[in-house]
Amino acid sequence: MRLTAEEVQGKIAGTTYGSVGSARAESNVALLRLHGPIMSRAGSNMTMSGASDPQQFAARVRAAADDPDIGRIVISIDSPGGTVSGTRTAADAVAYARARKEVVAVADDMAASAAYWIGAQATTFVADPGATVGSIGVVMAIKDTSGKNANEGVQTHVLRSGPQKALGQPGEVITDDTLAHYREQLMVFHEQFVEAVAEGRGMAVEQARTLATGRTWIGSQAVDVGLADHVGTLQQAINGEFSGSAGLAVRPAALSPAAQVETITGGDMDPKILAMLGLSADATPEQIEAAIREQRVKAAATERTNLLAGLGLTEESDKPADLGAYAAQARDGAAYRQAQLDRLHALTITVEGNDERGIQAADDAREVYAGQSIERINAQIVRLEAKRDTLPAGPLGKRGDSDTKPPKALPMSAFGLVGRR
Tell me, yes or no, whether 410 lies in a domain: yes
Q: How far is CA 146 from the centre of its chain?
A: 31
Most confident among 106-110, 345-349, 365-369 (mean pLDDT): 106-110
Tell me, yes or no, whether 5 lies in a domain: no
Q: What percent of the chain has pLDDT over 70?
A: 72
Q: Is 164's pLDDT higher than 50?
A: yes
The DSSP H or E segment spanning 24 is strand 22-26
- The answer to whether 104 and 123 have CB atoms below 8 angstroms apart is yes
- Give me the half-sphere count of Cα atoms (radius 13 Å) on the Cβ side of residue 208: 22
Query: Are 330 and 384 contained in the same domain?
Result: yes
Check residues 129 and 16 and name the one with the higher pLDDT: 129
Range of the domain at 33: 16-135+215-238
Q: Is 252's pLDDT higher than 50?
A: no
Averaged pLDDT, 311-321: 65
Query: Are 157 and 125 contained in the same domain?
Result: no
Tell me, yes or no, whether 203 lies in a domain: no
Render pLDDT for 149-159 as a digit per residue (tens, 0 to 9).
999 999 999 99
What is the structure's pLDDT at 195?
A: 95
Render pLDDT for 58-99 as a digit per residue (tens, 0 to 9).
999 999 999 999 999 999 999 999 999 999 999 999 999 999
Query: Are 349 and 295 contained in the same domain?
Result: no
Render pLDDT for 22-65 as a digit per residue (tens, 0 to 9).
544 445 899 999 999 999 988 777 877 789 999 999 999 999 99
What is the structure's pLDDT at 202?
A: 92
Cα–Cα distance, 326 to 333 (Å, whole number): 10
- The answer to whether 93 and 197 have CB atoms below 8 angstroms apart is no
Query: Are 232 and 83 contained in the same domain?
Result: yes
Query: Are 339 and 355 contained in the same domain?
Result: yes
Q: Is 8's pLDDT higher than 70?
A: no
Tell me, yes or no, whether 209 lies in a domain: no
Cα–Cα distance, 169 to 158 (Å, whole number): 8
- Give the strand pairing for 139-141 and 412-414: antiparallel
Tell me, yes or no, whether 200 lies in a domain: no
What is the structure's pLDDT at 272?
A: 67
Query: Structurally, how many domains does the chain consist of?
Result: 3
What is the structure's pLDDT at 417?
A: 42
Tell me, yes or no, whether 189 lies in a domain: no
For the chain, give the mean pLDDT. 79
Averaged pLDDT, 279-291: 80
Query: Are 160 and 222 contained in the same domain?
Result: no
First vs last Cα of the chain: how many Å apart? 33
Query: Are 271 and 396 contained in the same domain?
Result: no
Check residues 78 and 279 and name the one with the higher pLDDT: 78
**Contacting residues for 364 by C-beta, under 8 A, at least 6 apart:** none
What is the structure's pLDDT at 174?
A: 94
What is the structure's pLDDT at 293?
A: 74
Alpha-carbon separation of residue 62 from 74, 96, 105, 285, 314 (angstroms): 13, 7, 15, 35, 49
**Contacting residues for 72 by C-beta, under 8 A, at least 6 apart:** 28, 29, 30, 101, 102, 103, 104, 240, 243
Query: Are 27 and 110 contained in the same domain?
Result: yes
Tell me, yes or no, whether 348 lies in a domain: yes
Query: Are 103 and 57 contained in the same domain?
Result: yes
Query: Are 302 and 329 contained in the same domain?
Result: no
Query: Are 296 and 335 contained in the same domain?
Result: no
Render pLDDT for 219-250 as a digit per residue (tens, 0 to 9).
999 999 999 999 999 999 999 999 865 433 33
**Contacting residues for 209 by C-beta, under 8 A, at least 6 apart:** 194, 327
Given CA atoms 195, 201, 203, 206 in this order, what sign does their dihedral have? Answer: negative
Q: Is 196's pLDDT higher than 90?
A: yes
Residues paired with 75 in a beta bridge: 32, 105
Domain boundary among 310, 332, 356: 310
Cα–Cα distance, 93 to 75 (Å, whole number): 12
Query: Are 104 and 80 contained in the same domain?
Result: yes
The DSSP H or E segment spanning 233 is none
Most confident among 80-84, 355-359, 390-394 (mean pLDDT): 80-84
- The answer to whether 127 and 154 have CB atoms below 8 angstroms apart is no
What is the structure's pLDDT at 319?
A: 65
Tell me, yes or no, whether 6 lies in a domain: no
What is the structure's pLDDT at 237?
A: 94
- The CATH number for 114's domain is 3.90.226.10
